[in-house]
């Protein structure tokens, strides 16, 4: 069975292995999607239920961050190999984004 290794170069084995891998990945995507829908419903329900502002704001922000991580790493494939440069770009973008928002919300604090 040595020649059934995915990197054996045998086109048929590689092909079937890849089809299977794609299908598995697709199932992961559907699970991700279900969780994103779930988080969205919870976020809207928390606001609709009228909890305190001091609970809702950090809670919905946390749900948004988790959703975006799902979107970036699964839907946009950042979890795959060869995404070091995209990670560098996105994390530097997010750092500047964080500083910008921090500046603007603290400047109106008082």
Partner 1 sequence: MAAEQKFTPRTWPESPEQATLEGKNKFLGFWFFLGGETVLFASLFATYLALKDSVPSDTHAKATDLFELPLVFLMTMLLLTSSLTSVFAMYHMKNYNFKKMQQWLFITVALGLAFLGCEIYEFNHYYHEYEHKFTSSAFGSAFYTLVGFHGGHVVFGLSWIIALMVRNAKRGLDLYNAPKFYLASLYWHFIDVVWVFIFTVVYLMGMVG
Query: Which spans of this chain sit near partner 1 (rule: CB under 8 A)?
Result: 11-12, 15, 18-19, 22, 25-26, 29-30, 33, 36-37, 40, 43-44, 47-48, 53, 56-57, 60-61, 63-64, 67-68, 71-72, 75-76, 82, 85-86, 89-90, 92-94, 96-98, 100-101, 103-105, 107-108
Helix H or strand E segment including 6? none
Question: Which residue reads 């921090």 in tokens?
Answer: 102
Residue number with CB closer to partner 1 (1 or 11): 11
Closest CA to 59 of 45, 71, 70: 45
Residue number with CB closer to partner 1 (2 or 10): 10
Closest CA to 94 of 60, 70, 69: 69
């Amino acid at each position: 069975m040595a020649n059934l290794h995915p990197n054996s170069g045998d086109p048929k084995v590689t092909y079937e292995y890849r089809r299977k891998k794609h299908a598995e990945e697709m199932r992961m995507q559907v699970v991700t999607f279900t969780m994103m829908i779930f988080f969205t419903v919870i976020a809207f329900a928390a606001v609709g239920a009228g909890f305190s502002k001091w609970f809702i704001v950090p809670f919905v922000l946390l749900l948004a961050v988790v959703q975006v991580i799902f979107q970036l790493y699964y839907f946009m494939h950042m979890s795959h190999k060869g995404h070091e440069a995209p990670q560098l770009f996105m994390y530097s973008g997010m750092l500047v984004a964080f500083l910008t928002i921090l500046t603007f919300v603290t400047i109106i604090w008082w």
